[in-house]
Amino acid sequence: MQFAKRLEQIPPYLFAEIDRKRDEMVAKGVDIINMGVGDPDRPTPDHIVKAMHEGIDDPSTHNYPPYQGTQDYREAVAAWMERRFGVTGLNPATEVVSSIGSKEAIHNTFLAFVDPGDYTLISDPGYPVYRTSTIFAGGTPHSIPLLPERGFLPDLAAIPEEIARKAKLLWINYPNNPTGGLATLEFFAELVDYCKRFDILLCHDHAYSEMAYDGYKPPSVLQVPGAKDIAIEFHSLSKSYNMTGWRVGFVVGNAQGIKGLGQVKTNVDSGVFKAIQRAAIAGLSTTESELQAVMSVYQKRRDIIVKGLQSLGWQIQAPKATLYVWAPVPKGFTSAEFVTLLLEKCGIIVPPGNGYGAAGEGFFRIALTVPDDRMHEAIQRMTDAGIRYA
């Protein structure tokens, strides 16, 4: 039995490889501290779980859901976008669609818009799905390096015009995974103008819209006047509301973009369980004080890791958003060599920066998804092993 040739172009999924390494070390009796995957370890808030229980008990949720999401859910999404970002006028019928988390919707957007010979413009380092989904769709990914000296923002002027004219999608993700980079509305406006110039669908992966600290509030690209003419935005309840396993999110924005995504979805999935959509509505009604109580847990963990690394010679600043700390590897190491050292000497799992693209070489990513005491222990293990930046 032979695999399709497209699989020859796709490496094993980064986090599947991390899970494999973890299982190997656990089998050897190693006490692993796994800071590899951005999977919140805290329970889903009670009011969301309660709404789910009530939804399950209602027999009317036990049948197929509407492909595009229930009317109540899509209206709740439009109301949340207005309340959170001031984005008004979203039509729940044509400019909102439910999704099974973000990953599914991201992948299906490539299937909806990319043909063989088309280019996609993707950030490097970036979420690995952008590259693999381009390949699945038969397109060619063009990487845009995100460099520290530019604040991890793409340099649009460096994209060759002949590639821009063949590009169908431009993918951005701010707050950024894995770098923690941030974007302003002014930069979003530049992106909107660029995509209008070349007739490119601007896709903003906004999975970390609520994962922010120190009073920072990430903006939506749809706040830019005219953005809805060319942009769609992907949201997930996974990180913000500790709902990774629930698989629910939504996409909003340009009606043609939503229509194309929706047409693929109707052919490959059957929508989100109605009870989960009811729970998601409860999630979107979470108060600011309840949300900040969740964020304070991650902010404290961020501070533990940043201060710990600083004590070991790393000259890094605390990120204002996301679930991650993006840090350079010590001189003399590649990304892969350093994360292997952490695994073998300290029993710590973190992904190498080059797992997110060639421009990620020289970095590693730490997920803030283990309890405080384990983070303190990770820093102590590094100290005991004599691991320092300088």
pLDDT of residue 197: 98
C-beta of residue 363 within 8 angstroms of C-beta of residue 329? yes
Domain interval for residue 195: 46-284
pLDDT of residue 38: 85
Query: In the listed set 260, 284, 308, which residue is the last one of a domain according to the structure?
Result: 284
Nearest to 321 by CA among 129, 204, 178, 188: 178
Residues 6+ apart with CB under 8 A from 122: 130, 131, 134, 141, 142, 143, 144, 171
Confidence tier at 8 by pLDDT (50, 70, 90): confident
Mean of the per-residue pLDDT values for the chain?
A: 95
Instruction: Give the domain-ending residue among 235, 265, 284.
Output: 284
Q: Indicate whether 389 belongs to any domain.
A: no
| 72 and 170 assigned to the same domain | yes
At 329, the pLDDT band (50, 70, 90 cuts) reads: very high
Residues 359, 267 within the same domain:
no
The torsion angles phi and psi of 141, rounded to 5 degrees, stand at -80, 135
- Predicted confidence (pLDDT) at residue 169 exceeds the cutoff of 90: yes
Q: Is the pLDDT of residue 15 over 70?
A: no
Q: What is the Cα–Cα distance from 58 to 70, expressed in whole angstroms? A: 15
On whether both 195 and 64 belong to a single domain, the answer is yes
pLDDT higher than 90, residue 6:
no
Question: Could you tell me the CATH number of the domain that includes residue 242?
Answer: 3.40.640.10
Separation of alpha carbons 205 and 175, rounded Å: 9
User: In the prediction, which pLDDT does 13 show?
Assistant: 62
Find the range with the poorest average confidence among 11-20, 46-55, 69-78, 287-296: 11-20
Q: Are both 249 and 114 inside the same structural domain?
A: yes
Q: Are residues 231 and 261 in the same domain?
A: yes
- In the predicted model, what is the mean pLDDT of residues 370-386? 97
- Give the CA angle between residues 220, 15, 347 to the nearest 5°: 120
Answer yes or no: do 167 and 96 share one domain.
yes
Q: Which residues partner with 119 through β-bridges? A: 140, 167
Please report the pLDDT score of residue 110 as a whole number: 98
Domain identity same for 296 and 324: yes
Same domain, 11 and 98: no
Query: Closest Cα to residue 257, out of 298, 308, 199?
Result: 199
Task: Indicate which CATH number applies to the domain containing 333.
Answer: 3.90.1150.10
Residue 379 lies in a domain: yes
Whether 88 has a pLDDT exceeding 80, the answer reads yes
Arithmetic mean of pLDDT, 93-97 = 98
pLDDT recorded at residue 14: 63
Taking only the tens place, the pLDDT of each residue in 194-244 is 999 999 999 999 999 999 999 999 999 999 999 999 999 999 999 999 999
Helix (H, G, I), strand (E, B) or coil at 143: strand
Tens digits of residue pLDDT in 281-300? 999 999 999 999 999 999 99
Check whether residue 99 and residue 212 sit in a common domain.
yes
Q: In the prediction, which pLDDT does 262 show? A: 97
What's residue 75's pLDDT? Answer: 98
Distances (CA, A) of 76 to 60, 89, 93: 19, 13, 12
Q: Are residues 264 and 353 in the same domain?
A: no
With a pLDDT cut of 70, the percent of the chain lying above it is 98
Region 115-123: what's the mean pLDDT?
Answer: 97
In a domain, 168, yes or no: yes
Confidence band for 19, pLDDT divided at 50, 70 and 90: confident
Whole-number pLDDT of residue 4: 85
User: DSSP letters along 176-210, please?
Assistant: -TTT-----HHHHHHHHHHHHHHT-EEEEE-TTTT
Q: Residues 52-68: what's their mean pLDDT?
A: 97
Same domain, 234 and 325: no
- Indicate whether 18 belongs to any domain: yes
Whether 176 has a pLDDT exceeding 80, the answer reads yes
Asked if residue 94 and residue 224 are part of one domain, the reply reads yes
| Number of domains making up the chain | 2
- The structure tokens listed for 1 are 């039995």
Question: What's the confidence (pLDDT) of residue 363?
Answer: 98
Give the closest residue to 169 by CA, choosing from 99, 114, 227, 239: 114
Instruction: Look at residues 233, 253, 284 and tell me which one is the last residue of a structural domain.
Output: 284
